[in-house]
Structure formats: C-alpha cells, structure tokens
C-alpha cells in the first residue's frame, strides 16, 4: 500500500531552518506505505529522535530569531520517549493495528510516521438506560510524527488521510485521536484539515512516586480479584461508560495488567464472597493497574543542575525521614516508567476514601518497582472519582482533548441515534480510558 504525493504539492525552495539534511531545492515525491521492521526500524528511530530533540522548531524565515528561540528552548527541560527498540509497541497489544511511514525522495529517507489500531467499544444511546447501547468499531489514531526539517509540506495531512483509508478498509465506524489542549498544530491539523471534531476533554492526573510509603487507611481492606471476576464486575458497574471495550476480559488478563483491586470497609469485607459474583455491599471502590514500563520509558532531559540537585535533595530528605511523608520528586532524569490506573469506580458514602486508599496502594506498588516514577490516571471532568485521586496539579493536564470523526457513511441513517459524534448532550460523565491507548 502506497501513495505518492504530487510534485506540485511542494515548494521549489527550502525556507525552513538549517537541518542535518535539508530537503533538496527541487520537486520531490513522497511515498506513504506500511512499516516494514527489517527495512524501516533504524530510519524510524532516527526520525523520532530528531523530533524528540528539536520539538516543534521549524518554519521561521528569520534565522536570527530561529537561533535565539533554539537557545531559549535548549535551557528548558523536555520529555523524551524511549520505545525500547520497538516502534510498534504502543499498538502491538491490539489484534488489528498498523504503522505507516512516509519516505522522502529517491533515497527513501523516512520523514514521517503514524500509527493506528481498531477495537470494538460501547456507545450508550441513553445514559439513563445503560442497557440501551451498542458496540461499534472505533480506530485510534496516534503517534503522528514528521521530521522537523520536512514539516509544512503536507506530509502530516497525507499520513492522516492514508491511515483513515486503512481504518475504513478494516471496517472502522469512527476514528478518534487525543492530544494536549496546548498542542494547537495537532488540533488544527485534525479539526480544520481532516474533519475531526472535539468530542471529550478528560483530565490527566499525575502523581510522582515518593521515597516514602503511603500508610494504609484504617478500617479498610484491599482485595485482589481474579481477571474473570474483574471482567464481570466491570461489565456491571461501567456498563454506561463511553468507550467501554468489548474485549474487557483480555485487558484485565493482559501481561501488563498488574491486577484489579477492590477496597472495602473491613466489616463489609468479612461478609463479602467475591466468588459469588455479587457486588460488595454498601461502599466499595475498584481500580486496575497497568504497567507501561513493559512498553516504553520516559526521560526528562535539559533540566538545569540546580533543578536536579533540588530533586535529589528532596529524595534524600524523604528517605532519611520517611515518617514526615515529604512530597519528594523521583529521579526522572534517568529512564523511568509509570503505572496507569484504569477502570476506576466508587460508590457509597465511603467511596472517596476507599478510592484514595486504592491510589495509595498503587503508589506503594510503584515505589517497590525500580524505575517507576509516577502513577497516572485519566478521567472525564465530570467523573465522581476525580476528586478522590491524589495528584500534583503542576504535572497534570487539565484538558486532554479527544477528537472524533465518523468514517462509515450511512451509519447514522441505518442506526438512527447511533451517531456518536453528535451525542454530546447525552454523554455519560464516566469515560473508560483503555490502558492500551496510553
């Protein structure tokens, strides 16, 4: 599968910043095709490393301004993603996935990539009646990158268009993507050029892992349940949530899922038999833990020596006096992973304190796992569990924008009120965030 971009789509001269290997000042063809590991792995890694190091620097005509901007950005810390030698790692957990690459010129230099995967997820027609719902095929578009020296040539647009064609060929009804609200270039590309519309604005909550352990909440029992029971519980308590996956059983049983845990008051725990299939009485909270360390690592680079020293000092003080429970900062200047909390649900008057106890439990798990630097959760802004999740506002995203697009023509006419794109008024406040998408 490939698609050539016409020569007239490109300018005759290069006006961007001086790069390692600037595009030639002649018309060049670009080929978009599927990724081949043996042929493309090294080229993809080189291209993505350039994106990590240079960020969004591209395009200014004034070289003096460009140089000043680069000098200023070099003083700032930035986050680097290490895919652990597997460019497909973020989509490999889905049975149906693809990665496309864009080649520049006769030399076949890889200058862009995009990834996509397809799953079946639930759409609720009537929030008041969770049983009134259907599963549809939804495609997640992620990992779009274009080399800084080759931007503003329509390559990103062509990659999105080609991944949409792949999704349609494989029966996807909808496609969606997610990005930070501050990423205006990405939002402009998907909404203004590619026909996506803003659908949801969930909150990404980040909690650094401290050197001390969080104490258990008195009077609370935390019980680990089997994947089979976890699937049954989730199908009951999260039946009305948007994006609930049809293959929930495979997620909770996945090798990267570290377990599903239920927090319940001790007096209720003595009377509850998980094997009975019944929900816990009165108040309880449930959450599952996903380990991203097995997929990719992160690393903060570019931080000043002063910032590094302050972070190291906080860890040392926390280690020496753990009883003070100081908010120390983990060593994110070395490669680290994080735990992702998914399937969060609470009920009853003790629900918030029980959910906090589960988050503390996950923090302690992460603390005992070398190289785990944070515990992360993503929830809808109206989800009740949000108030119970400990996090640092400074490192959390107040608005992670999800955009969606209807791909299958005739779906609305055939299914009536099954138009997910225009259901904003009837949305459930609970949004299920698939840990495989993170």
Q: pLDDT confidence of 255, banded at 50, 70, 90?
A: very high
Mean pLDDT of 343-351: 96
CB burial of 148-167 (b: ≥16 within 10 Å; e: otherwise) equals: bbbbebbbbbbbbebbbebb
Q: What is the pTM of this model?
A: 0.86
Mean pLDDT of 247-262: 97
Nearest 5 degrees, angle CA 405-CA 406-CA 412? 150
Cα separation, 122 vs 411, in Å, equals: 15
Cα separation, 221 vs 219, in Å, equals: 7
Flag the least confident range among 1-15, 105-119, 316-330, 345-359. Answer: 1-15
| Residues 152 and 16 sit within 8 Å (Cβ to Cβ) | yes
Q: Of 231, 268, 287, 234, whose CA–CA distance to 350 is shortest?
A: 268
Q: pLDDT confidence of 275, banded at 50, 70, 90?
A: confident
Cα separation, 287 vs 362, in Å, equals: 9
Cα separation, 112 vs 48, in Å, equals: 8
Residues 6+ apart with CB under 8 A from 397: 180, 181, 203, 204, 206
Residues 6+ apart with CB under 8 A from 370: none
Q: Of 330, 365, 321, 332, whose CA–CA distance to 214 is shortest?
A: 365
**For the chain, what are the domain ranges?**
2-201, 205-298+335-398
**What is the overall mean pLDDT for the chain?**
85
- pLDDT of 420: 60
Sign of CA dihedral 141, 146, 148, 150: negative
- pLDDT of 11: 35
331 token code pair: 């060593």
CATH of domain 205-298+335-398: 3.40.630
Intrachain domains 2-201 and 205-298+335-398 with the same fold: yes
- pLDDT of 269: 87
CB neighbours of residue 130 within 10 Å: 18
Q: What is the CA radius of gyration of the chain?
A: 23
Mean pLDDT of 268-282: 88
As to burial, measured by CB atoms within 10 angstroms (0-12 exposed, 13-18 middle, 19+ buried), residue 80 is middle
Q: Is residue 133 pLDDT above 80, yes or no?
A: no
Q: How far apart are the first and last CA of the chain?
A: 27
Mean pLDDT of 209-231: 94
In this structure, CATH architecture of domain 2-201: 3-Layer(aba) Sandwich (3.40)
Mean pLDDT of 164-191: 94
- 310-344 pLDDT, tens digit each: 999 999 999 999 999 888 989 999 999 999 999 99
303 token code pair: 């931080």
153 token code pair: 């040539």
| Residues 371 and 82 sit within 8 Å (Cβ to Cβ) | no
């Amino acid at each position: 599968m490939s698609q050539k971009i016409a020569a007239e789509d490109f300018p005759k001269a290069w006006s961007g910043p001086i790069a390692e290997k600037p595009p030639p000042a002649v018309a060049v063809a670009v080929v978009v095709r599927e990724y081949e590991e043996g042929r493309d792995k090294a080229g993809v890694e080189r291209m993505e490393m350039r994106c990590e190091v240079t960020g969004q620097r591209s395009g200014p005509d004034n070289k003096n301004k460009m140089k000043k901007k680069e000098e200023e950005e070099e003083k700032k810390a930035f986050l680097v993603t290490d895919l652990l030698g597997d460019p497909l790692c973020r989509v490999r957990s889905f049975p149906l996935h693809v990665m496309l690459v864009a080649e520049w010129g006769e030399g076949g230099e890889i200058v862009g990539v995009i990834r996509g995967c397809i799953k079946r997820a639930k759409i609720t027609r009537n929030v008041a009646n969770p049983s009134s719902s259907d599963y549809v095929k939804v495609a997640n578009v992620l990992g779009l990158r274009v080399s800084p020296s080759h931007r503003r040539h329509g390559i990103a647009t062509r990659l999105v268009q080609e991944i949409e064609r792949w999704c349609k060929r494989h029966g996807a009804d909808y496609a969606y993507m997610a990005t930070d609200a501050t990423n205006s270039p990405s939002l402009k590309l998907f909404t203004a050029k590619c026909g996506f519309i803003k659908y949801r604005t969930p909150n990404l909550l980040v909690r650094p892992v401290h050197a001390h352990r969080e104490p258990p909440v008195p009077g609370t029992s935390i019980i680990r349940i089997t994947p089979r029971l976890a699937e049954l519980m989730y199908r009951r308590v999260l039946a009305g949530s948007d994006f609930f996956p049809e293959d929930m059983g495979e997620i909770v049983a996945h090798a990267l899922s570290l377990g599903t845990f239920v927090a319940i008051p001790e007096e209720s725990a003595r009377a509850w038999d998980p094997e009975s299939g019944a929900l816990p009485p009165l108040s309880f909270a449930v959450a599952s833990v996903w380990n991203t360390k097995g997929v990719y690592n992160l690393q903060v680079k570019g931080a000043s020596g002063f910032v590094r020293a302050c972070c190291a000092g906080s860890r040392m003080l926390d280690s020496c006096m753990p009883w003070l429970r100081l908010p120390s900062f983990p060593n994110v200047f070395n490669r680290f992973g994080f735990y992702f909390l998914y399937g969060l649900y609470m009920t009853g008057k003790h629900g918030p304190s029980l959910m906090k106890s589960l988050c503390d439990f996950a923090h302690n798990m992460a603390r005992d796992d070398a190289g785990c630097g944070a515990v992360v959760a993503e929830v809808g802004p109206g989800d009740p569990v949000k108030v119970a999740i400990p996090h640092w506002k400074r490192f959390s995203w107040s608005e992670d924008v999800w955009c969606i697009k209807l791909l299958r023509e005739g779906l609305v006419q055939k299914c009536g009120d099954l138009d997910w794109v225009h259901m904003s008024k009837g949305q459930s406040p609970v949004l299920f965030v698939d840990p495989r998408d993170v």
